[in-house]
Amino acid sequence: MDLDKTINFNLGILGHVDSGKTTLAKLLSTQASTAAFDKHPESQQRGITIDLGFSSMVMDIPEQLKSSASDIGKIQITFVDCPGHASLIRTIIGGAQIIDMMLLVVDAQKGFQTQTSECLVIGELTCEKLFVVINKIDCFEESIRDKSIYKMKLRISKILEKTKFGNNVPICGISALKNLYIEDFLKKLQQHLFIPKRNFSKPFLFYVDHCFAIKGQGTVCTGTIIEGKVSVQQTVEIPNFKEQKKVKSIQMFKKPVQTALQGDRVGICVTQFNPEQMERGILAEPGSVRKLYAGIIKFNKIKYFKYTIKSKSKFHITIGHETVMAKVLLFKRNIETKESYNYFQIDKEYEYVEEAEIDNFPNDIFILLEFENPVLTVSDTLVIGSKLDLDLETNVCRIAFWGRLLWTSNSVNYVDSDLKNLKIYKYKTKQGSIQRIVNENEAIVHGLFKKESKRDIFIGKKIILSTGEEGLIESSFGKSSKVKVTFNNGLNSTTLEKLKSKNSDVLVLLNFKKYIFDKNKSIIQ
* 246-292 pLDDT tens trace: 999 999 878 899 999 999 989 999 999 999 888 778 999 999 999 99
Q: What is the average pLDDT score of the chain?
A: 88
Tell me which of 501 and 156 has the higher pLDDT: 156
* Section 286-312 average pLDDT: 93
pLDDT at 32: 72
pLDDT confidence tier of residue 333, bands split at 50, 70 and 90: confident
Q: Measured between alpha carbons, how far is 301 from 150 in angstroms, rounded to an integer?
A: 33
Of 36-40, 110-114, 122-126, 427-431, the least confident: 36-40
pLDDT at 396: 85
Half-sphere exposure of 173 (CA within 13 A, CB side): 19
> Whole-prediction pTM value?
0.85
Question: What per-residue string of b and e applies to 242-268 under the rule 16 or more CB within 10 Å gives b?
Answer: eeebebbbbbbbeeeeeebbbbbbbbb
User: What domains appear along the chain, each with residue ranges and CATH number?
Assistant: 6-191 (3.40.50.300), 205-284 (2.40.30.10), 290-421 (2.40.30.10), 425-515 (2.40.10.190)
pLDDT confidence tier of residue 339, bands split at 50, 70 and 90: low
- Is a pLDDT exceeding 60 seen at residue 39? no
- Is a pLDDT exceeding 60 seen at residue 496? yes
- Is a pLDDT exceeding 60 seen at residue 367? yes
pLDDT at 439: 92
Q: Measured between alpha carbons, how far is 336 from 341 in angstroms, rounded to an integer?
A: 13
Question: What per-residue string of b and e applies to 5-38 under the rule 16 or more CB within 10 Å gives b?
Answer: ebbbbbbbbbbbbbbbbbbbbbebbebbbebbbb
pLDDT at 488: 93
- Is a pLDDT exceeding 50 seen at residue 313? yes
pLDDT at 197: 87
- Is a pLDDT exceeding 90 seen at residue 294? yes
pLDDT at 93: 79
pLDDT confidence tier of residue 340, bands split at 50, 70 and 90: low
* Section 127-151 average pLDDT: 96
Of 320-324, 373-377, 391-395, 503-507, the least confident: 391-395
pLDDT confidence tier of residue 337, bands split at 50, 70 and 90: low
Query: Judging by DSSP bridges, how do beta strands 218-227 and 309-310 pair with one another?
Result: unpaired
Determine the longest span between alpha carbons in the chain, in angstroms. 98
Amino acid code (one letter) for 495: T
pLDDT at 91: 74
- Is a pLDDT exceeding 70 seen at residue 55? yes
- Is a pLDDT exceeding 80 seen at residue 94? no
Tell me which of 7 and 486 has the higher pLDDT: 486
Tell me which of 514 and 5 has the higher pLDDT: 514
pLDDT confidence tier of residue 359, bands split at 50, 70 and 90: low
In the chain, % of residues over pLDDT 90: 65
Q: Is residue 247 helix, strand or coil?
A: strand
Q: Measured between alpha carbons, how far is 432 from 506 in angstroms, rounded to an integer?
A: 9
Calculate the CA 328 to chain-centre distance: 13
- Is a pLDDT exceeding 60 seen at residue 43? no
